[in-house]
Structure 1
Amino acid sequence: MSYPQLLTPEEKLAEGKTALGIRDVVVLCGSMRFAELMAEVAIEESVAGALVLKPDCNMKLPHPLWADPAEAEALKVRLDDQHRQKIRLADRVIVVGDYIGDSTRGEIAYARQLGKPIRFTHPEVDPAP
């Protein structure tokens, strides 16, 4: 007697997205110094039919929610974790901007580890060997 193969979490997610009619999820990564370019790429991808996930808290700008340095550091950790969740949900990744900092470099490595296709708005900054 053979038993059916259990689905991996990734396969379950893919089946769920298909069942819900979600066909293309893209996540934008990059420094918030490129927030305007990120917004433009989000518009282009949305018009093309993609569901766009992106960072929404620009901690480079003052805000009461991250005014306290200790709270800001804890928030940054949570937001980094949330962004990795967005990468896991996405079908593909777009890296925005002509600069790759440590956070974005980590996101790129994580997306590559998961086998996500990655496109760069500025391919010359791709840290791949």
Structure 2
Amino acid sequence: MSNIIVERPKVVCLCGSLRFQRLFDSERKRLTARGIIVLAPEPVDEEPTASMRATLGELHLRRIDLADEVRVVSEGGYIGDATRREILYARATNKVVSAVEANVVLPTFSA
């Protein structure tokens, strides 16, 4: 065994609508090339049932739990209900939240 200590790479979870799959792929490649571990939702081949959607939503929250940062993938500022929920969850668990789009308005907790 080697005595070389390797710093743990940053872990980023991508969130957003899978309608932006091209942007997800691009951001995943960009971050990976920078030595960052990327977690992201995967599209499913079938139309998800309500139960499957709930399960996939919970699975994605567990990805957020594992991440150091949540990065929102969007186009034209679009943030759907599921992504909004994920952003608020990330903020509630003290994750850094960033966005691919420079001027996108990310939801915050309302007082």
TM-score (norm 1): 0.72
Match of 1:111 in 2: 90
Aligned pairs for 1:9-20 within 5 A? none
Equivalent residue number for residue 63 of structure 2: 86
Unaligned runs of 5+ in 1: 1-18
- Structure 2 unmatched ranges of 5 or more: none
Q: Secondary structure at the match of 1:115?
A: coil
The percent identity for this pair of structures is 35
State the shift of 1:125 in Å.
2.8
Matched with 1:124 is 104
Give the number of the structure whose residues are more often helix, by fraction: 1
Please give the residue correspondences for 1:68-79 in structure 2 after superposition, counting only pairs within 5 Å: 72-79=49-56
Structure 2 residue 20 is matched with structure 1 residue 34: yes
- CA RMSD after TM alignment: 1.9
Cα distance change, pair 124–72 in 1 and its aligned pair in 2 (3 A): same
Aligned to 1:3: none
Structure 1 distance, partners of 2:104, 2:28, is 21
Larger Cα-atom Rg: 1
- Return the TM-score normalized by structure 2: 0.82
Count of paired positions: 102
> Is the contact between residue 12 and residue 36 of structure 2 (CA under 8 Å) also seen in structure 1?
yes
Larger mean CA deviation between 115-124 and 94-103 belongs to: 115-124
Mapped partners of 1:40, 1:108: distance in 2: 21
